[in-house]
Structure 1
Amino acid sequence: MSQRTIKITGWSLTAILGLLFAMSAFMKISLNETALEQASSFGINATTYRFIGVLEIISLLLFIIPRTGVLGTMLLVAYLGGAIVTHLQHQQPVAMAITIQILLWITAFVRFPELKQRLFLSKSI
């Protein structure tokens, strides 16, 4: 694959994830009725839910900006890990969260090759 193809692929995947996370955060910040019902079934109140949405937006912005992309990736991975655990704890389906988590890792490896090198190709001293 050429560098140009890799770059286009990385940014295309970033755009898809950006739209998904932005929509999710907007629903939390605007306190969408359907989303708020699901959150309350998990024991999350409206103030906490809105705060989670703000954290999601901040993490997404850090992910989109190339200089802070790796930090944003780690924050979004942690966020999705928490979502997966919460869904598991309340016997809710986790397939969507796991799929997004996998897509996030693929995007991170395409956009940040140094991350893939550190995780898979590091030599022990």
Structure 2
Amino acid sequence: MTVIAETLPASKPTRWTGRILSGLVIVFLMIDGAIKLVPWPVVTETMDRMGYGSSETLARSLGLITIVCTVLYSIPPTSILGAILLTGYLGGAMASHVRIGSPLFTHTLFGLYLGLMVWGGLWLRDKDVRSLIPFRR
């Protein structure tokens, strides 16, 4: 027997909370991607400390990937694809921090915090995501 969870429509405050949460993620990631496109010395110095060298080409590539994934996330028809791609990107950032022994709660888990905001904002504003990830009452 298959039970299909019926998704209740989100209230207006719920949708707005999701939009605000998603908006914060979008603004943060667009700024993060933009500073990698420049790339500022702090970006290449940080990449070097993380073991990736101070390659401006790599920094620009990562900036472009961040911006493309964030734009996909911000457009409703492609938001789920964008969230999946951002999850992978943030997981790679977490793995990099684990590898170099960064502080756990401030650096290593920052990707997790951001990922929870990505999916939480999407869950609050998108009924299709709520039907894929239902919470029982």
Q: TM-score, normalised by structure 1?
A: 0.86
Q: Aligned residue pairs: how many?
A: 121
Q: Which runs of structure 1 show a deviation greater than 6 angstroms over 4 or more consecutive aligned residues?
A: none
Residue matched to 2:4: none
Which of 18, 21, 37 matches 1:13? 21
CA distance in 2, matches of 1:108, 1:92: 29
Residue ranges of structure 1 left out of the alignment (5+ in a row): none
Match for 2:109: what amino acid?
Answer: A
CA-based RMSD of the aligned residues comes to 1.8
If each structure's helix is expressed as a fraction of its own residues, which one has the higher value?
A: 1
Which of 45, 50, 53 matches 2:60? 50
For the Cα contact (< 8 Å) 1:14–1:107, is it kept in 2? yes
Match for 1:66: what amino acid?
Answer: P
The higher relative CO (CA closer than 8 Å, separation ≥ 6) is in 2
Residue ranges of structure 2 left out of the alignment (5+ in a row): 1-8
Residue matched to 2:6: none
For the Cα contact (< 8 Å) 1:70–1:112, is it kept in 2? no
Task: Report the identity percentage.
Answer: 22
Which of 84, 91, 97 matches 1:87? 97
Residue matched to 1:117: 131
CA distance in 1, matches of 2:134, 2:21: 21
Q: Larger Rg: 1 or 2?
A: 2
Match for 2:123: what amino acid?
Answer: F
For the Cα contact (< 8 Å) 2:19–2:125, is it kept in 1? yes
**2:31 aligned with 1:23:** yes
CA distance in 2, matches of 1:60, 1:35: 19
Match for 1:61: what amino acid?
Answer: V
Match for 1:104: what amino acid?
Answer: V
- The alpha carbon displacement at 1:41 in A equals 1.7
Q: Deviations over 1:14-53 (max 9, x none)?
A: 1100111011111111111112101112232221111011
CA distance in 2, matches of 1:19, 1:12: 10
- The alpha carbon displacement at 1:117 in A equals 2.7
Aligned runs of 1:26-41 on 2, under 5 Å? 26-41=34-49
CA distance in 1, matches of 2:128, 2:10: 17
